[in-house]
Amino acid sequence: MKTYLIQKYGDQSAVRAAELPDPEPGADEVLVKIHAASVNPLDFKIRDGDFKLILPYRLPLVLGNDFAGVVVRVGSAVTRFSVGDEVYARPGKDRIGTFAELIVVHQNDLAHKPATLTMTEAASLPLVALTSWQALVERARVQPGQKVLIHAGSGGVGTIALQLARHLGAHVATTASAANAALVKELGADIVIDYRAQDFEELVEGYDVVLDTLGGKTLEKSLRVLKPGGKVIGIAGPPDPDFARELGANPVLTQVMNALSLKTRRHAKRRGVSYSFLFMKADGDQLRELARLVDAGAIRPVVDRVFPFEQTREAMEYAEKGRAKAGKVVIAMM
């Protein structure tokens, strides 16, 4: 099969096209012919080696973290899927590799594709939709009437998180450029803050939840817009001890993660709020819930541009340099 992979960690020049043997599904696994995959910031971080202590992949490594496609073979113990099913998924963190013609996925990580979407639209969703669900539904438990701030509302995660927060009945604020104000309002934002001209810390206060996609100073300031008991959920770091426990990290790595987030957690505690780091997990059941929301019209994908498979490197460069105006960059195999 054709793939795009890295043989060593590095910058964009490390990504190359290569042929690999077709994978074989195990008893609980499904072999999928990939029709489309999407580009995520996680791809760049893995390529650069930023996560090699957390995710010790064996090289060479096929890149890519979500996809949509068609089942071509099922393992002997598979009960949920049949040959010909249209599916979508974020593979388990140890089984990535969607910049390829084929992939093997555990049946528990897979879901039937939303019926109302094309393959390219469906491929844009799994990683960002699962991130949004696990942040807002699973961890924050957002309730109707609560106030939620979502940073970078026109980004891949932001465009889906806005719609999910609106569906949950929250009052939603977001940061975005003035050029994307109309889009994020349409997606569910009640308040739009132009991050280039305005300081969100001066405009919002008393929030229940902040979904921080940016980290750094944005994270520091986000702690100050929460009401007592409020939560910041960060996907840009720093990692925290709870994440280390989820990962089963060794004592040294656990100490490193503890140190990286110590200042932030102390700052949060002084203010009577909390900070937690979220590294989303593969989950087919949650993707089924999200597919129902999509088919009911509560969530729609936002796709900025579609590249052919032969231009995977160009698609990654386009996304990494921030050229996308809003939403996701997708790679189409078919």
Q: What is the pLDDT of residues 171-212, one digit of tens each?
A: 999 999 999 999 999 999 999 999 999 999 999 999 999 999
Per DSSP, helices labelled H in the chain are 41-48, 119-123, 126-133, 156-167, 181-187, 200-203, 216-222, 241-247, 251-270, 284-295, 312-320
Element (H, E) at 29: strand 29-39
pLDDT in tens, 72-94: 999 999 999 999 999 999 999 99
pLDDT in tens, 237-258: 899 999 988 888 889 989 999 9
Report pTM: 0.96
**pLDDT score of 334 more than 90:** no
CATH architecture of the domain formed by 2-125+301-332: Alpha-Beta Complex (3.90)
The span from the CA of 146 to the CA of 189, in Å, is 13
CA dihedral 55, 61, 67, 70 (to 10 degrees): -130
Contact 254, 107 (CB under 8 A): no
Residue 126's region, left for phi above 0, alpha for psi from -120 to 50, else beta, is alpha
Q: What is the CATH code of the structural domain delimited by 127-277?
A: 3.40.50.720
Sequence ranges of the chain with CATH classification 3.90.180.10: 2-125+301-332
Sequence ranges of the chain with CATH classification 3.40.50.720: 127-277
